[in-house]
A and B are shown apart, each in its own frame.
Chain A
């Protein structure tokens, strides 16, 4: 229909309107890209030249040493920070995907008494601001002796605490025909098998979307590690970045290089799973925070 409409208009006005469209798209693109380009450019500048005003938009000369300096800073074990971030992100995401889908299976496919009530309770936790959970959780973890360990950043996610993911997966599970699991009187083990061998394998899109949301949120989390850990050995990348800044001055080149290194795996994930991601958002009509 759109083709028909534009087909009726003269060619010259079609070309003109396309030029306007591209011009607008490019203006928006420049606004989105300039800060990122600035980050990249700063990370490649010779130390010292980042303080020049007016600034050079293109680094001259291009140096890579900032990246090496950033990961070998004395007293700031970059690779250890990376390992901590990887461990937390991996274990928390694994727990999130497994338990959210397990719980979602119950809500989506078994008609038990009290189901609607608990589902509403689940949804209402979406409205709870994190800060309300923060203080009592801190006290709980303190009682458990978990402060200054990585446990508070991992264990809660093995209990399906993120209602949004449970909701997302449940919506998807409900689109799968029920015949499979209602056919016979079965015991619990059979149900678990259906969840594991029938439902999960055909739920790639939604599990992919949840994986991306979860990886992003754990990799980028700042407040959690800030509150629950103290030791240098337990710092995550998000926390570690802060120590490029000091009262005596900031190594902007190194800071930007470290930021790019932190961003790189996320970019790879984003580009390789972009399809799932977009579909995940379309599935519910909205995305995660």
Chain B
């Protein structure tokens, strides 16, 4: 491919922000294309604007934030954005005091040990002067506060209980949903133990678009907005999703261009596309649409979902398990069904 062909193939397309040749596209290749510098800037801007629009850090007393890193491209991107924002000396410096939480979901001992070793290497590369903790999602099984230690993977002693609970759930769709709820419960437990009221998660647009459709199928359509937008206020802590406007595609290209792709932690996870669950169907549905070049599906789903609010739970009553607003009972109907499919093991949380 020489430069002459390049221009011809591009059909004269220039970056939408400057006059340079376009090299990368946004989510929809027909809508916007950028040169390398403007692409990087566009991705950074989406992260910063998600935080600034909601004025999350206007209160000087509450800047402590738990930043979750799960080894994924989105997690590595989030860590690097925080690292970069803290290094700025101008008005662009992000006023946040981060504590990094490496969230582990693999259950094999050797894999967990590999994560601990990898984290030791990563700590030398970025966010050197902040606290790092490693915790397994099984920390969700604690009902009291968790005593976190800095040098090991916390919560591994609860893995048998955690896997027993998930295995007791007889319906694959409910099992996947329970996994999601337990992940949030784990974050809430750890935030509470560390007395940090804000928690940033690396949920990107692709994850959240799928989640929106899953939640519609699970009957939580009325509470979609807080589940897929930047902030999700719970009684005692705030979930923040600063990369909710960025697709996996944008994040992966950015990571490649900025050499962040070396900071992933590779887990040997099993694909869930063969599961007979609503979540697997949703994933397959979106993949098919994207393969057929309906690139804006996720954006359309998210923009619609962000406008859907529950009007029944205005008195602040929430489901004790999933925290969506409910009208007049402690457990939403979906969580009641999950409880019934778990042969009694879930009752400890209710």
Does B bind A? no
